[in-house]
């Protein structure tokens, strides 16, 4: 999206390092949302990291629940079809986990490079809430 200087954060570290740590250690990002008042760059990345984690975690839970229910319902009709449902559910579940981790790693790399990159779905919310 755009480059910007991170400056110093409320933790006393460079903004890009603090934002990187927020992506890698979720509790730090959560704490930064409440203590970071001055550095908009760090605040944006902290909010984005938390929103991304919550969004993907909800997706993972929904896929697991729907997959289990659908698998049980379909297994009453056809065991072959149930096997396909289970495999698709597992693939989607694993894909979401990789998406979660990939988004956090990509966000960390962009933050360290002083880039204000918005992740899909949550980036616009993070931008609004960080200002």
pLDDT digits (tens, 9 = 90+) for 10-54: 888 999 999 999 999 999 999 999 999 889 999 999 999 999 999
At residue 118, the 3 state secondary structure works out as coil
- Tell me if the pTM is above 0.85: yes
Distance CA 103, CA 31 (A): 20
Positive or negative, the Cα torsion across 63, 65, 66, 70?
Answer: positive
Cα–Cα distances in angstroms (integers) from residue 4 to residues 8, 16, 18, 101, 120, in the given order: 13, 10, 14, 24, 20
Residue 8's beta-bridge partner residues?
14
Q: pLDDT tens-digit profile of 62-83?
A: 999 999 999 889 988 888 888 8
At residue 3, the 3 state secondary structure works out as strand
Distance CA 126, CA 95 (A): 23
Name the pLDDT band for 5 (thresholds 50, 70, 90).
Answer: low
């Amino acid at each position: 999206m755009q480059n910007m200087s991170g400056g110093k954060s409320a933790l006393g570290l460079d903004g890009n390092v603090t934002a990187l740590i927020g992506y890698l250690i979720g509790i730090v990002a959560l704490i930064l949302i409440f203590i970071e008042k001055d550095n908009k760059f760090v605040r944006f990345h902290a909010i984005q990291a938390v929103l991304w984690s919550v969004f993907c975690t909800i997706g993972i839970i929904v896929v697991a629940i729907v997959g289990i229910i659908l698998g049980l319902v379909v297994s009453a009709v056809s065991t072959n079809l149930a096997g396909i449902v289970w495999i698709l559910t597992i693939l989607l579940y694993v894909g979401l986990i990789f998406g979660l981790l990939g988004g956090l790693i990509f966000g960390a790399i962009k933050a360290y490079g002083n880039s204000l990159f918005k992740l899909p779905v949550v980036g616009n919310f993070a931008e609004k809430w960080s200002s």
